[in-house]
Structure 1
Amino acid sequence: MELVGETWFSVTIFAWFADDATAAGSLTGLRKWWSAFVSLGPAFGYNVKPSKSWLIVKAEHLDLAKNLFDGCGVGITVEGKRHLGAAIGSPTFVQHYVNEKVEYWVSCVRKLSVIAKAQPHAAYCAFTHGLITRMGGLGLCNPSANANFEFNSSIQVTSSLTKEIIEQQTCFRMSVVSSQRQAKADIIALRHRQLVCKQSELTPQLPASLRRIVSLSSEKGASSWLSVLPIEEHGFALHKGAFRDALCLRYGWLPNSLPAKCVCGHGFTVDHAMNCATGGFPTLRHNELRDFTAAALSEVCHNVAIEPVLQPLSGESFRYATANVEDEARLDVSAHGFWGSRHQKAFFDVRIFNPTAPSYRNTAVSSLYRRFERDKQRMYEQRIRDVEMGSFTPLVFSTFGGMGSAATVAYKRLASMLSTQRGQSYSSVVSWIRCSTSFSLLRSAVTCLRGARSHRGSPVTIGALDLAILEGQVLPSH
C-alpha cells in the first residue's frame, strides 16, 4: 500500500491485481508513473520487468509514445494485448481474441463429445459441473442463449469493485464484499425464478406420465448424483451403460437391450425389474441404505446396531391391529444418543418404494410418503415407545432418490452431528448424504435392470467423508 501511495501521481486510473500493476491515462502521466516504479519499486521488493510490460496506444499517439518511452524496454503496440483473461486494444484485436476463445471452446466441446462415447458420465460432469440440475433438468444450457444474462450478471457482481477502482480507493472496504455477496444472492434468486417460470411453462405440455416422472426427478436429493464429480473411490462414478440407464430411468425412457422375459417367468419391464424379488435385488437395495445409515450413525452415536432384536412382549397390547407383536421382531438400525440423551435408544427402519409402479401411479407422491411412514409408525412406534422406551423414525425413500419428511429430518440431524464431528460445513455434509443415498438408490436401480439376479453385495463405508467432499466438490444446495 505504501508503494501505491508513492506512485499516485497524475495517472487517471490505477489498479493492482496481486503483483500485476495496470494504469491508464495521458502518456506523460504514464511516463512519470513508470519512472516512479522503476526507481521506488526495489525498496519495496518490487522489481519491474520491462520485457513483460506493454503500452497500448492509439495509432495517432504512437510516435509520441515511442519518444517518451525510448530506451525503457517497454513494448508498445497499437493493436492490443491480453490482460487478466480479457483483451484490451483495437476492436479488430478484441474480436480476434474472442474468436480464438470461441474456437477453443468449440474444440473442447467436440473433444467432450468424443469422450462421451466411452465416458458419458465424466463428459457430462466436465460440461455441467456447478450448474443447477434440480427441477428435473440436466443443467445443460445454450451459452448463446444465456450470454446476455451472464454478462449482465458479471457487470452486477463487479460493479462495486469497479466503483472502488474508478474512485481510486487505496484501502479495500468490506462493504464491497457484502455488496458482491448480495449481488450474487440476487442473481441466484433471479435465475431460480426464471427456471421456475420456464418449468411452469413447459410442464403442462408434457404427457401425464412424463409430468409425474419429471416431478419425481425434481424432488430434493433426486438430482444429487448429477452434481458431483465422478470419482470412483468415493462411489460417485457410473460406467457408460449405468449412466445411460440412469438417464432412461430419470425420464421414463426405455433402456436398450432389455430381455423380453425375467428369469422369474414374467414379462420384463422397468417396473417389474424394480420390484422383482428374484435375485434379492430389492433386499440388497434396502440393505445398502441401511448399512450406510448405520455407518454414518457410528461416527456420532454409540451402541449402533444393525437389525436389533426387540424385547419379547409380556402381554402388552397396542392400539393398531397392524402393530408388530412378534417376539423376534427386528428393525433396521438402532443407536444411542441420536435424538435425546445419550442413554435414549433411537430405532430406524428403511422403506423404499417405486412410485412408478402401476398400483402407485395415480397417487400423489407426497401421499405415498405419508402412507408408508404411517404404516411403519403403526407397526413399531408404540412398541418402541412403551416397551423399549426409545424413539422410532421411519426412513422412507423413493427409487428416484427423494425421501419422506421423517427421513429428511433425521438425515438433517445426522448431517449436523457429522459436521460438528468432522469439522465440515453443515451444507456440505447434508449434500454429501444426499449424494450418497442418491447414488446408492441409483446403483441399485441399475442392478435391478441389468443384474444376473445373484445374491452378492457389499456394505458401504464413510471413512473418506472429508476426502469425498473435497475431491468430489460436493456443492451445498441453494
Structure 2
Amino acid sequence: MAMYSISVTPLIASLQDPHVAQVWFADDATAGGTLWGLHDWWCKLKDLGFMYGYFPNAAKTSLIVKPERLDEAKQQFAGTGVSITVEGKRHLGAALGSRAFTEAYITEKVESWSRCVRRLVNIAKTHPHAALGGLGICDPKSHSDAEFDSSVKITSALVALIVQQELTFSIDTLEAQRSAKCEVVRMKHRAHDEVAATLCQSLPVGLQRIVALSSEKGASSWLSALPVEEHGFALHKGAFRDALCLRYGWLPSGLPTQCVCGQGFSVDHSMNCPTGGYPTLRHNELRDFTAAILSEVCTDVCVEPPLQSLSGETLTYATANREDGARLDVSAVGFWGGHHQRAFFDVKVFNPTASSYRATPVASLYRRFEKEKRRKYEQRIREVEMGSFTPLVFSTFGGISGCTSIFYKRLAYLLSLKREVPYSSAMSWLRCRISFSLLRSAIACLRGRVPTVVVPSAIGHLTLYYQRVGCLPPNYLNCSL
C-alpha cells in the first residue's frame, strides 16, 4: 500500500508526546495538551528546530489557557517570551479561544462582509455587469449548515489522522477525500436541481419556456465570463439590464410602442423585423467569427463560397437549391480530417419565442432547421462539390443544435492543438464568444442601434477582425474565462 510522508516528518516525529497533540500546516505549528506537556514540547521545538532550518519565534507565539489556569501557565512559561491569553487568538483564518472571543471575531467578519456587499450594491448602480456578473450570489445564512456539513465530510479522513497523530497517510485517505468531494458536489447539484424544478413548476407556461431556453448549454456563458472590456466581454448598464430582461422574459423599459416598419413594437417583433438589417447583422457576425477561427486551423477558408452550377445532376428534394451562383456561408479545407476535402457550413439563427414557434419544443426546432438546411444543400454539396455539409443552428437565447455542438467541439479541439491550450479553455472561450455575439445582436435588434461589434463581410485582415469583434488573439487564450 502506497504511503505519503509529510515533508517535516523528522522534526514532527521527534516532537511526538502522548500528552500533546500537534497539528502542522506548512510552517505553522499548533499543539494542545497539558501545561507541562506543552512546555516540554516548546522547549524541544526550540532545541531541535534549528537542525531542520526551523526557528520558532516566541514573539509570534501565543498560549491560550482557561482563566483558572492562567497563574499556573505564567509560572510554567516564565522566561520563554510566549504571550499568554485567556481570550483567544486568530489562527489560519479561524478563531481559537473563549466563546466571547469567537463571537466577537465572527461579528467583525460579518460586518466586513456586509460592508463589502453594500459597496457592491453601490457599484452595481453604475456598473451592474462588473458587480453582478454571474448572479450566483448566495445567502450565507441559508447555506451555512450545509456548507459546514460538507466541510466536515471532506475533512473527516484528515481529522482522523490528526487525532491519531499519524505522520503518514495512505492512498486510501486520498481516495476517501476524493470520494467525499465528489459526493458533496453531487449533493449540491441535486439540491440546486430540486429547487430549480420546484420554482420552474410555479412559473407561468410562457416563462417556463424562457427559463428553459436560458438554461441551455452555453446560453449563460455571458454571465459566467469575466467582464473584461478589452476582450469584448463587458456590457454597459443599459445593455446588462436589457440582457436580464431578455433572459427572464421581463419587459425592458423605454421601448417604443410602434416599430419604424409600421407594426406594433414588441420584444418578439424586434427579434424578427428585417427593417434596419439587424437579423442579417446577427447572422453575419456569427458567420465571420466562425470563419476567422477556422482560418487558424484549416486552409483555404472562404466566406460565402460560390457553388458550381448544375449540369444535369438530379437532386432528390424539391426544396434543394438548384440556382446558379448559389452560395453558402463558410467553407474550409481539412476540417473533418480529410486534408483535401472541403467542408461547407451554413448559419441559421431563429427566435424560439416567436408566435409561430412557441408551441414547438426547442429540440424539435433545432432538428427541423437542421433538416431544412440539409435538404437544401447537403446532396448538392456531397455529389457536386465532393465535400461535406454541416448546418450551424443557433437560438437567439444562445443555445445551439446537436450538429452545431459537434462542430464547435471539433473546432475547440483543433484550436487547443494550434494554440497549445487545454481543450476545456478553448471550448469555454468559444461558448463565451458565441453567447456575447448573440446577446449583443439581440440588444441591437431591441434598441435599434448599430451594435458596438462591427464585423467585416470577408476575412481579410485577421488583426482588424480581432480588434473589431473583441475576439482574443491566439496568445490571449491562456487566460481563464
TM-score (norm: length of structure 1): 0.92
Superposition map of 1:3-402 within 5 A: 3-10=11-18, 12-125=20-133, 138-402=135-399
Q: What percentage of aligned pairs have identical amino acids?
A: 58
**Which deviates more from structure 2 when the two are superposed, residues 225-234 or residues 164-173?**
164-173
Does the C-alpha gap of structure 1 residues 357 and 465 become closer, same or farther in structure 2, counting only changes over 3 Å?
Answer: farther
Structure 1 contact 424–466 (Cα < 8 Å) conserved:
no
Structure 1 contact 353–397 (Cα < 8 Å) conserved:
yes
Superposition map of 1:424-463 within 5 A: 424-452=421-449, 457-458=454-455, 459=465, 460=469, 462-463=471-472
Deviation, 1:462, is 4.2
Structure 1 contact 66–76 (Cα < 8 Å) conserved:
yes
Deviation, 1:163, is 1.9
Does the C-alpha gap of structure 1 residues 194 and 86 become closer, same or farther in structure 2, counting only changes over 3 Å?
Answer: same
**Which deviates more from structure 2 when the two are superposed, residues 304-313 or residues 89-98?**
304-313
Task: Classify the secondary structure of the residue corresponding to 1:259.
Answer: coil
Structure 2 contact 373–391 (Cα < 8 Å) conserved:
yes
Distance 1:121 1:292 in 2: 24
Does the C-alpha gap of structure 1 residues 107 and 463 become closer, same or farther in structure 2, counting only changes over 3 Å?
Answer: closer
TM-score (norm: length of structure 2): 0.92
Q: Which amino acid aligns with 1:243?
A: F
Structure 2 gap ranges (5+) = 1-7, 456-464
Distance 2:28 2:452 in 1: 63
Q: After TM superposition, what 4+ stretches of structure 1 lie above 4 angstroms from structure 2?
A: 453-456
Distance 1:457 1:426 in 2: 28
Deviation, 1:264, is 2.3
Deviation, 1:454, is 8.7
Does the C-alpha gap of structure 1 residues 112 and 469 become closer, same or farther in structure 2, counting only changes over 3 Å?
Answer: farther
Deviation, 1:453, is 5.3
Does the C-alpha gap of structure 1 residues 372 and 141 become closer, same or farther in structure 2, counting only changes over 3 Å?
Answer: same
Deviation, 1:424, is 2.4
Does the C-alpha gap of structure 1 residues 145 and 455 become closer, same or farther in structure 2, counting only changes over 3 Å?
Answer: closer
Does the C-alpha gap of structure 1 residues 76 and 28 become closer, same or farther in structure 2, counting only changes over 3 Å?
Answer: same
**Which deviates more from structure 2 when the two are superposed, residues 266-275 or residues 387-396?**
266-275
Distance 2:352 2:424 in 1: 28
Tell me the C-alpha RMSD between the 2 structures.
Answer: 1.9
Distance 1:469 1:142 in 2: 33
Task: Classify the secondary structure of the residue corresponding to 1:209.
Answer: helix
Deviation, 1:34, is 1.1
**Cα offsets for 1:102-137 (capped at 9, x unmatched):** 111111111111110001111113xx5xxxxxxxxx
Q: Which amino acid aligns with 1:319?
A: T
How many residues get paired?
A: 461
Task: Classify the secondary structure of the residue corresponding to 1:117.
Answer: helix
Deviation, 1:451, is 3.1
Does the C-alpha gap of structure 1 residues 417 and 96 become closer, same or farther in structure 2, counting only changes over 3 Å?
Answer: same
Distance 1:57 1:393 in 2: 73
Q: 1:135 aligns to what?
A: none
Task: Classify the secondary structure of the residue corresponding to 2:144.
Answer: helix
Distance 2:63 2:171 in 1: 33
